Amino acid sequence: MPTALAQASPNIAFVKYWGNRNQGLRLPSNGSISMTLEGLETRTSVSYLPELTQDEFWLDGSQTRGQQLERVTKHLDHIRSLTDMRSFASVESQNNFPAGVGIASSASAFASLTLAACAAAGMDLDPKSLSRLARLGSGSACRSIFGGFVRWFAADRHEESYAEQIAPANHWGLVDLVAVASRQHKAIGSTAGHALAETSPLQPARVEDAPRRLELCQAAILARDFSNLAPIVEQDSNMMHAVMQTSTPPLLYWQPATVAIMQAVREWRRAGIPVCYSVDAGPNVHCLCLDDAADDVARRLEAIEGVLEVRRAGAGGPARLL
């Protein structure tokens, strides 16, 4: 039976992807840089079965229908079109982290799905080709093919937009402490959000300035320079939220606790603690810090009113077959 099992981890973007120059191909408006997260995993198995009359997709033990299934089928169709495989597939995905804690599962889901679906169809692709393919399922998934610190290149053509590792996981002891401010499911997901980005008059300025942020961020990572990393990470997050908040309709993902955490983090950094914040398309706050400071920062976060939970992850490894 043509079957394969793969594992991938989510990632947190330091310079964020928001908006596409080509929505269908998920060609991003700007490049991005992320850290793949250790210990958080999606495992996905793909079995092509001649007896199936359509694809099936099981997520954390429940069979999915509608949009979730359609998105997986579309991705499998693309992979099948590159091979001789004509059978439908049974896909099973398991996350070892709960949904709704502010850790995007689409990156690890589509990175592991791409790897398993290609391997089961007999395709042995290099990481760059896998990254390109994963991007078609979920933009940020192209970064989760790689471990450590990763950069995704924006381009006008499918062939030229993929991710690459800029430094391995053991390069720098950075920790992501995710302060959970709400477990409610977000109203507007990232696919719909990307489509709204260009309705904000601030998006062109954000995109135009992206090369500067990317260079500063990459240089700070390579030099392990936290004091240069922190302001650029926070500025990039603020710029994305400025675009979100000024699009039509506006997207306001922050809750009162989100703002309280951002304020506290800035105060702690002024007092000398190496920590900065980054917020994705949701209310939870990713607090990046050096590992020596992580216990102290986690305790401080837990003491803030409205913080439900703090999750911890260092830099993790690449997507791989099991």
Beta-carbon count within 10 A of 178 CB: 23
**Distance in Å, CB of 257 to ligand PMV, minimum:** 19
Taking the least distance from each CB to ligand PMV, the nearer of 85 and 148 is 148
**Distance in Å, CB of 250 to ligand PMV, minimum:** 16
| Cα 42 from chain centroid (whole Å) | 12
**Distance in Å, CB of 280 to ligand PMV, minimum:** 4
Q: Which structure tokens are listed for 157?
A: 């053509």
Interface with ligand PMV (CB under 6 A): 13, 16-18, 32, 104, 106-107, 138-140, 190-191, 194, 280-281
**Distance in Å, CB of 297 to ligand PMV, minimum:** 22
Write the DSSP string, 218-270.
HHHHHTT-HHHHHHHHHHHHHHHHHHHHTSSS------HHHHHHHHHHHHHHH
Taking the least distance from each CB to ligand PMV, the nearer of 7 and 278 is 278
Taking the least distance from each CB to ligand PMV, the nearer of 85 and 220 is 220
In terms of Cα–Cα distance, which of 87, 84, 99, 194 is closest to 138? 194
CB 163 within 8 A of CB 131: yes
Backbone φ and ψ of 116, nearest 5°: -70, -40
**Distance in Å, CB of 28 to ligand PMV, minimum:** 8
* Kind and range of the H or E run holding 73: helix 66-81
Taking the least distance from each CB to ligand PMV, the nearer of 195 and 304 is 195
Q: How far is it, in rounded angstroms, from Cα 195 to Cα 200? A: 11
Taking the least distance from each CB to ligand PMV, the nearer of 94 and 191 is 191
Taking the least distance from each CB to ligand PMV, the nearer of 240 and 293 is 240
Q: Where are the beta strands (DSSP E) in 135-208?
A: 149-152, 163-167, 174-180
**Distance in Å, CB of 142 to ligand PMV, minimum:** 8
Q: How far is it, in rounded angstroms, from Cα 93 to Cα 61? A: 8
